[in-house]
Structure 1
Amino acid sequence: MLFSSITFLFLFLPIMLAVYYIAPFRLKNGLLLIGSLFFYAWGEPVYIILMVLSILLNYFCGMDIENNSENEAKAKRSLIFAVVVNILLLVFFKYFGFFVESINGLFRVHIPYRELALPIGISFYTFQELSYIIDVYRGKVKAQHSLVDFALYVSLFPQLIAGPIVCYEEIEEQLSSRKISARKLGNGAMLFIVGLAKKVILANTMGEIFEQITSTATSNLTVLMAWLGCITYAFQIYFDFSGYSDMAIGLGRMFGFEFRKNFDIPYVSKSVTEFWRRWHISLSSWFREYVYIPLGGNRVTISRNILNLMIVWALTGMWHGAAWNFIVWGLYYGVILVFEKYVWGAIVDSLPAALQHVYALVLILVGWVFFFSPSLGAAIRYLFAMVGGGAGFVDREVFFVIFTHWLFYLLAVIASTAVGGKVLKKILNCSRKSFVRTAVTIVVFFGMLAVSVAYLITSTYNPFLYFRF
């Protein structure tokens, strides 16, 4: 079930909110757990068994680690067991087919296998469970004794499908004590509507334009059209994923939970390093805390630090998808980050701000080619078209696309910078009179909701890119 679906907006969410707010606090977690499991089972009823088994595994391993806190060897055995099983489950469902295909291609053999549907959200909830089990072992958090509360942490529907990745430490107290109020409900609803508008109006429109551009054979793309396709996809994935994150954070707030921000206007970055501090913040933080720092971080020799960075980014690429183009995408960023840290970072910092933005955006756009291409070969062919290996430099088609969609490109530019937030705040604070501000707020947000719903009703194009991750 997508957040940006009529079923969710006008059936599941209203019923869930009504039941949740009527119920006494002691029953809220249980009701929210039932709703979350139903939400997950709506799309994949078979894989609800996998999630329940995963919850039970990590719940009992966490308890065992805490019970053996005085016995390091036993606690470590439970930790290793839980980590290995979690990773094996993720690898089996997400990467088994990729490994078999790679072996078949490399050694020219034919190992038959049955392709399995990827359990939705498995990359996200597995990382959450790993953070829990590791933090219990480290003594950063206490094991959760309530199975209902732990199951809710893993399956909480606002962030289950696409994050943000919520570490247990961030939500531990909220599971047992959180503020639920009409003000938080309203603030959460407004953030949800902003995210919905990002997703439905901007991301979906950019997605349709991108499909139109890439329906042309790569050899027939001009340089400008290839770059326009790349820019269009950059807008699509940003508004798709950040919009979904905004909806998740808004939904969490509506139910009394506070999740940290997952995006911070990343396309204003002046370097790739800064971009990854602003893009998918919860994933970057997770890899830093649970992979990079345990490997030694930057408290080691330069050569070892470079190796640490490359390991982290290879894993980041693999996390996003079971294909060589995703691995190359991760390594591509690893190489750039190493060079920014040890080679040309100081030179980039000395450039005028405008050139720093251009530098960062060009490298980011090139990176998206590896991400959106169906294969590594397709990515190389697309990159070739971007530097003149297609059908020349420019054609009429590129101007036709721009002139017929100029308003959406303008809105995308505004909404992907700080300007968008400032404009919205000025509109909402247009008067000193509180009743006027309230009226304007209602009109603006109900207007965004109405337009978003109209788009959902009249269009059949409503994918969510991160479902495949």
Structure 2
Amino acid sequence: MLFNSLVFFIFLPIVFTIYWGFGRWKLKIQNLFLLVASYVFYGWWDYRFLSLIMLSTLVDYLIGQGMESATRKFRRKAYLWISILFNLGMLGFFKYYNFFVESLSVSLQLLGFQESSLWTLNILLPVGISFYTFQTLSYSLDIYKGKLKPTRDFIAFATFVSFFPQLVAGPIERASNLLPQINTKRTFSYAQAADGLKLILWGLFKKVAIADSLAVIVDDVFLNYADYSGSTLALGLIFFSFQIYGDFSGYSDISIGTAKLFGIELMSNFRFPYFSRNISEFWHRWHVSLSTWFRDYLYIPLGGSREGRVKAVRNIFIIFLVSGFWHGANWTFLIWGGIHASLYLPVFLMGKNRSYVGEHLGHGSLITNFLDFLKLLQTFILVTLSWTYFRAENLASANGYLGRLFGNLGIEEYHHPRGYRMIDYFILLGIFVLYEYLIRHNERKPVPFRNKVLRLWIYTLLVLGLLLFYDSGSDRSFIYFQF
């Protein structure tokens, strides 16, 4: 079920009404209803994959109980390894089996073996598997480290794993944040629900008006890159930067806003990443739930930066390569991760990797200084160029795209595949960037202005934008569903 589909806008009010309509329900019944609704939401794609999420839930629930009852460290570690092997094994089979088989086949052919008996499988990737396996795995890791006590309430745990607003594309929640809220009786808050609806509207606008409208141009440019000059290819990359941002941050806003409707607060996932002044700040603002997951469960356990520069450099490359590979079973994602590791490394070696943590562009003033603007522009260009490997179907296409981008510097007029005026897209993006700059201090307040008339105008424009750009026949999926 897609957040931008008509089905979801029938589903959500029904679930919301029943959920709060029976406010006197006991907590377990409240959670049970939320669990059933989440399974309906997830099973809408393919009900067969419900068995996987149920199995993952049961395994990690039992492992949590086992670690709590284990009196010896050896047994606790054994339980942990069962969780790691199960979750990563399930993820590896469904997401990476064919990649490794095909890579091995190519390697054997290079060694002189012309015929390979290795078989690939016709495996359909379950939606959200990368997200909920990391969520359940973090639960087991936190219990092992003593940061969390396992819950004995199986319904509450299953609701934590499958909570539908963030189930298929994050944020990747921690049990330490989400489980206590699920274990606490929720009461309706008008202010919280109103804030949720505002975030949903803003997220839908970013998805429909920004991401989906740009997607038509991006798809055309990347599919036919050999026919275009450098100016059009640069345009395609810039538009993809805003497409993926509007798509993924839009999903996160809808997710956080929807959770608010049910009295639950999720972690922030995007903090205006394109206003970053170096690559380190970008990763403190982009897909925060994933970057902090790798920091806490991979980078720090590997030693972080505590064991000297050489190991720190090694650890940086490991987390970026693993992060790239997490996104998909393709060499392009490994290259993308390697590029970001290479961009991050100079910032780290110069000790600038925490320069802008917790600090917004402009330092509280309306206009940023020129030096910060140049840093922002440099970071955006580097990030945008790296998106080539994220968007391209394969390495040959990515390399061909970049080769033509820099090898054919001609300027040409691009014509929209559907005949629309390109000037309208430039105006739309310009207004969008300017507005995001104005609200950059709080990602949870998309309309922070006190003037009621101004707020009403903004809400009206957002709704009109949705009506103008929404295509009921497309139901274009979210990009991160493929991960």
- TM-score normalised by structure 2 residue count: 0.89
Establish whether residue 370 from structure 1 lines up as the match of residue 389 from structure 2: yes
Q: Provide, for residues 151-198 of structure 1, a one-character-per-residue CA deviation record: whole Å limited to 9, x for no partner.
A: 000000000011001010111210121443222111111111111111
Structure 2 runs not aligned, ≥5 long: 110-114, 357-368
Partner of 1:360: 379
Partner of 2:209: 201
Change (3 A) 1:210 1:421: farther
Quick check: 1:63–1:143 contact (8 Å CA) kept in 2?
A: yes
Q: Provide, for residues 7-46 of structure 1, a one-character-per-residue CA deviation record: whole Å limited to 9, x for no partner.
A: 101x110110011001224221110000001110010211
Letter in 2 for 1:67: S
Partner of 1:63: 65
Quick check: 1:225–1:398 contact (8 Å CA) kept in 2?
A: no
Partner of 2:12: 13
Change (3 A) 1:446 1:57: farther
Q: 1 CA distance for matches of 2:192 and 2:373? A: 39
Change (3 A) 1:190 1:404: closer
Partner of 2:112: none
Change (3 A) 1:122 1:415: farther
Q: 1 CA distance for matches of 2:215 and 2:256? A: 23
Establish whether residue 305 from structure 1 lines up as the match of residue 306 from structure 2: no
Moved more, 122-131 or 202-211: 202-211
Change (3 A) 1:386 1:336: same
Establish whether residue 74 from structure 1 lines up as the match of residue 95 from structure 2: no
Measured after TM superposition, the shift of residue 377 of structure 1 is 1.4
Measured after TM superposition, the shift of residue 210 of structure 1 is 1.2
Q: Provide, for residues 114-166 of structure 1, a one-character-per-residue CA deviation record: whole Å limited to 9, x for no partner.
A: 22110100000001001100101111111011110000000000000110010
Establish whether residue 39 from structure 1 lines up as the match of residue 53 from structure 2: no
Match runs of 1:261-300 below 5 Å: 261-300=268-307
Q: 1 CA distance for matches of 2:304 and 2:458? A: 46
Q: 2 CA distance for matches of 1:136 and 1:421? A: 35
Q: 1 CA distance for matches of 2:181 and 2:297? A: 23
Change (3 A) 1:441 1:252: same
Q: 1 CA distance for matches of 2:455 and 2:380? A: 34
Partner of 1:107: 108
Match runs of 1:7-406 below 5 Å: 7-9=7-9, 11-23=10-22, 24-26=25-27, 27-68=29-70, 70-108=71-109, 109-110=115-116, 111-177=118-184, 178-216=186-224, 218-342=225-349, 352-387=371-406, 389-390=407-408, 392-397=409-414, 402-406=422-426
User: SS at the partner of 1:397?
Assistant: coil
Letter in 2 for 1:12: F
Moved more, 439-448 or 22-31: 439-448
Q: Percent identity?
A: 33
Quick check: 2:230–2:405 contact (8 Å CA) kept in 1?
A: yes
Change (3 A) 1:463 1:425: closer
Q: Provide, for residues 34-62 of structure 1, a one-character-per-residue CA deviation record: whole Å limited to 9, x for no partner.
A: 00011100102111011101100000000
Q: Provide, for residues 61-80 of structure 1, a one-character-per-residue CA deviation record: whole Å limited to 9, x for no partner.
A: 00000111x32111111111
Letter in 1 for 2:20: Y
Partner of 1:4: 4
Quick check: 1:59–1:147 contact (8 Å CA) kept in 2?
A: yes
Q: 2 CA distance for matches of 1:184 and 1:424? A: 14
Q: How many equivalent pairs are there?
A: 455
Change (3 A) 1:357 1:457: closer
Measured after TM superposition, the shift of residue 221 of structure 1 is 2.1
Letter in 2 for 1:76: K
Letter in 2 for 1:38: V
Quick check: 2:199–2:446 contact (8 Å CA) kept in 1?
A: no
Quick check: 1:5–1:456 contact (8 Å CA) kept in 2?
A: no
Q: Which runs of 4+ in 1 moved over 6 A?
A: 348-351, 398-401, 420-424
Measured after TM superposition, the shift of residue 403 of structure 1 is 2.4
Letter in 1 for 2:92: V
Partner of 2:459: 445
Quick check: 1:456–1:462 contact (8 Å CA) kept in 2?
A: no
Match runs of 1:423-442 below 5 Å: 425=447, 428-430=449-451, 437=452, 441=455
Partner of 2:361: none
Q: Provide, for residues 199-244 of structure 1, a one-character-per-residue CA deviation record: whole Å limited to 9, x for no partner.
A: 111111111121232342x333212111111000000000000000
Letter in 1 for 2:320: W
Quick check: 2:5–2:475 contact (8 Å CA) kept in 1?
A: no
Quick check: 1:195–1:242 contact (8 Å CA) kept in 2?
A: yes
Change (3 A) 1:336 1:82: same
Moved more, 456-465 or 59-68: 456-465
Partner of 1:410: 430
Q: 2 CA distance for matches of 1:463 and 1:414? A: 27
Change (3 A) 1:373 1:467: same
Measured after TM superposition, the shift of residue 461 of structure 1 is 5.8
Q: 1 CA distance for matches of 2:370 and 2:317? A: 27
Letter in 2 for 1:118: L
Q: 1 CA distance for matches of 2:75 and 2:473? A: 56
- TM-score normalised by structure 1 residue count: 0.91
Q: 1 CA distance for matches of 2:400 and 2:163? A: 41
Q: Provide, for residues 251-276 of structure 1, a one-character-per-residue CA deviation record: whole Å limited to 9, x for no partner.
A: 11110110111101110111011101
Q: 2 CA distance for matches of 1:107 and 1:162? A: 36
Q: 2 CA distance for matches of 1:153 and 1:455? A: 34
Q: 2 CA distance for matches of 1:312 and 1:410? A: 34
Q: 2 CA distance for matches of 1:365 and 1:398? A: 22
Change (3 A) 1:291 1:418: farther
Q: 2 CA distance for matches of 1:249 and 1:81? A: 32
